[in-house]
Structure 1
Amino acid sequence: MKHLPISKQQLIVAMISLSFGGMAQAALTINGSPDSGSSARMSWGGADSLSEARNIMYKSNSGSTIRKVDNGYGTTNLTNAGSYGSSSNNYNNNNNYNTTYRGSFGSRTDMVPISTNSRSVAVIDAETGESIYEKNADVARPMASITKIMTAMVVLDSGLDMREEITLDPEDFVGPKRASSRLKSGDRLNRAEMLLMSLMKSENPAAKSLARNYPGGYSAFMRAMNQKAQDLGMTTAFFGDPTGLDKRNVASSNDLVKLVRAAGNYDVIRRFSTTKSYDFYVANYSNGNRTYKANNTSSLVRSGNYPIGISKTGFINEAGRCVVMETRVNNRPAIIVILGANSSATRWGDAKNILNSLATRRTV
């Protein structure tokens, strides 16, 4: 179903109405047909993902946007293993996972028998933190736009009004590297839309504008990103900019596992990063208003053939092709990090190889 352009006032009214129930959800669902079964309720590519994310964000004062953040070490209660993603946003917080569990994914001595072509790979059982497959997983490498997951967490931690309109300035288009963008200086979107642009379409000016409009400004935002990395135990990580265009943005695959685990506690990141496509209505006083049709940068999310709970791709020359994702195979959650693929075909080939190998493993 195609979205018709609507005014900014109409959009805000629809957003606010979402906080009072599901009556307005049809107007803000993502493109595509609703999934049947539980996958849509779990936010993995479900057609209700975007509308429910907006519902969560506009109830931010109640604390429902942010859940207890996993410290990244794999021994805490995982809030995202319960009934997350339901329309009531209820969580099952009573799941205590034994770190000695030897279930469907096996132990360190029983890893996935595969070969990958990317330079660094980590696959872990998200319930126990056990390694399923590793390749140069402790070596820090440029992470490119995977950076934007940390950007999103810092924005959501701030508790800022997601309905506040942000205008792109010329400085939002200046960065460590030249990068193409369909956004323009003077474009006006609210903070929620800028966040969706950053996570789904990986628009660099949108991420830069979110950092610039942070309390204390851009420098304070960068300090918050690196402090967050320390808090999560990401000992190899450094963030030099909020977009990932800076080659100094580095982390090991194992540290990015911690990043994805922490991101799983934010419903908005789950919804926005797995939104397949969306038609943005962009206002601009100088260049005129227009519709920006955007698709997710992940071919796996767009295809809908795999259950993806969190997703972010990245690319700069120094980083190669990268992707992080959370998935569920044989009713077990896993986190996959792939860094340094020489091509897009290599990145997705490694990802599918891992997913298919997990699917053939035994269950409890």
Structure 2
Amino acid sequence: MKNTKKLLMNALGASLLLCMSSTGFAEIVMNSSGNSGQANISWSSEEANLLLNGDVSANSASSFNEPSPKGSVNVTTTVRSGAAAQSTPKTVQIVDTSNFSDQPTVSARAALIMDAQTGEVLFGKNTNTSLPIASITKLMTAVVTADARLNMSEQITLQQIDFAGAGGKNSSSTLRVGDKMNRAEALLFALMKSENPAAAALARTYPGGRNAFYAAMNAKARSLGMTSTHYVESSGLDPRNVSSARDLGILVSAASQYSVIRQFSTTPSYDFNLGYRVLKSNNTNSLVRNGGWNINISKTGYINEAGRCVVMHTTLNNRPAVVVILGANNTQARNNDAIRLMNWASQLPKSI
């Protein structure tokens, strides 16, 4: 059935990461962005619209399935920012920026801002501390879903088990058991509106079911070098989903390779037509909705144990950058920390 839907498209030194394995953080970041020469097939805006509007047949939908960016590049690495790709020399460098500018004040429990092209850490606070990450989890849920190359036009019906939040936490304020959507819509629900039943349904409908999905999440984390990360479910409601600012910097860098994740996570608003009702929905990140920053990837998160969290891939002074904020006291404090970091990084020299 063809729906009349409208997708509004895309309109993070003092401290250094010294507690590393033999492989440097910058090298891990850059290797996670490589593709071993494999073509990185991206969904166009038109193709994504077709998926969301239900105009793609089961046979043709496979052509939109995006392969996982994996492997490493010996000489150059491809890093995507928005829709553009750049090849840059592979240099590994960790830089102390304390001599370049006054360090910003960050109230969150942990924070990171890094150059997404080189892996240089521009600012860090408690970067190796493993913390609950709430719905930041859904970024890995999206990566695993994209890696599986499933039929994105396949219809999914939400079941009661998809609403069984961890520890009695509220799973959704808008979705209901029996709601139907295609897999692309479920992914958009999970990334843009952070709907927990949508993330749960993506895991449930994965080949092998939920346990296979959780195993794939942890395997992907290990393959990316995310050494402080562990997942037990796909939504982030369980506080046992933990990661560090360092690891999330790696994840955001890898996720920026997927055009569907870039597009869906930064959609400002979308009207979900479920057939018998329309859910008018907004992005959970006001920095995306306000359009004042060039944000290429966004994911917010909140449970009591995690505090207010956000990760973003953005462009600051022509420099691709990753922003991670974990454990802010409230949404305003989270946004203030992010804006303070982004303003500060925008004043840094482009090459340091």
With the shorter chain as reference, the TM-score category is 0.7 to 0.9
Among residues 93, 98, 102, which one is paired with 2:91 in the alignment? 98
Answer whether contact 1:122 1:338 (CA < 8 A) is retained: yes
Q: Which runs of 5+ in 2 are unaligned?
A: 12-42
One-letter code aligned to 1:99: V
**Structure 1 position 178, deviation (Å):** 1.9
Kindly indicate whether residue 327 of structure 2 is the aligned counterpart of residue 340 of structure 1.
Answer: yes
Say yes or no: does 1:29 pair with 2:29. Answer: no
Distance across 1 between alignment mates of 2:208 and 2:243: 26
Matched, 1:68 2:69: yes
1:265 lines up with 2:257 in the alignment:
yes
| 8 Å contact from structure 1 (residues 97, 127) kept in 2 | no
Q: Distance in 2 between matches of 1:211 and 1:302?
A: 28
**Could you tell me how far apart the structure 2 residues matched to 1:50 and 1:300 are?**
21
User: How do 1:136-175 and structure 2 match up within 5 A?
Assistant: 136-175=126-165
Match for residue 225 of structure 1?
Answer: 217
**CA displacement at 1:359 relative to structure 2:** 1.9
Q: Trace 1:300-315 onto structure 2 (pairs within 5 A).
A: 300-315=287-302
* Paired residues of 2:301 and 2:310 also in contact (CA < 8 A): yes
Distance between the aligned counterparts of 2:137 and 2:102, measured in 1? 27
CA deviation profile, 1:153-195 (whole Å, cap 9, x unmatched)? 1111111100000000011100214214200000000000000
Instruction: Provide, for residues 300-321 of structure 1, a one-character-per-residue CA deviation record: whole Å limited to 9, x for no partner.
Output: 0000001101000000000000
Aligned residue number for residue 190 of structure 1: 182
Q: Residues 185, 55 of structure 1: CA spacing in aligned structure 2 closer, same or farther, 3 A cutoff?
A: closer
1:97 Cα deviation from its structure 2 partner: 3.7
**Structure 1 counterpart of 2:114:** 124
Structure-1 separation of matches of 2:102 and 2:46? 37
The correspondence for 2:169, drawn from 168, 178, 197, is: 178
Instruction: Check conservation: 1:69, 1:265, Cα contact below 8 A.
Output: no
Q: When the two structures are superposed, what TM-score results if normalisation uses the length of structure 2?
A: 0.81
- 1:67-93 Cα distance to aligned partner (Å, 9 max, x none): 52477x9x9613315xx527xxxx45x
Q: Cα distance 1:306–1:278, how it changes in 2: closer, same or farther (>3 A)?
A: same
**What are the Cα deviations for residues 128-165 of structure 1, in whole angstroms up to 9, with x where unaligned?**
11110011110000000000000011111111100000
Instruction: State the 1:28 CA deviation.
Output: 4.0
Residue 274 (structure 1) aligned with residue 266 (structure 2):
yes
Equivalent residues of 1:112, 1:358 under 8 A apart: no
**Where has structure 1 moved over 6 Å in runs of 4 or more?**
55-60
The two structures have a TM-score, normalised by structure 1, of 0.78
Taking a change above 3 Å as real, the CA distance of residues 100 and 120 of structure 1, as seen in their structure-2 partners, is: closer
Deviations 1:225-250 (A, max 9, x none): 11111111111100011000000000
Structure 1 unmatched runs, 5+ = 1-8, 15-26, 36-47, 284-288
Check the 8 A contact 2:101/2:348 in 1, yes or no: no
Deviation at 1:358, TM superposition (A): 1.6
The amino acid of 1:95's aligned partner reads: T
Change over 3 Å in CA distance of 1:155–1:220 after alignment to 2: same
- Return the offset for 1:208: 0.3
**Post-superposition CA distance 1:249-294 (Å, at most 9, x none):** 00010001011011011110000000000001013xxxxx100101
Return the match for 2:280 from 274, 293, 312: 293
Alpha-carbon offset, residue 112 of structure 1 = 6.1
TM superposition shift of 1:115: 1.0
Root mean square deviation of aligned Cα = 2.8
What are the Cα deviations for residues 26-64 of structure 1, in whole angstroms up to 9, with x where unaligned? x74318xx85xxxxxxxxxxxx98545446997764577
Distance 1:76 1:168, change over 3 A: farther
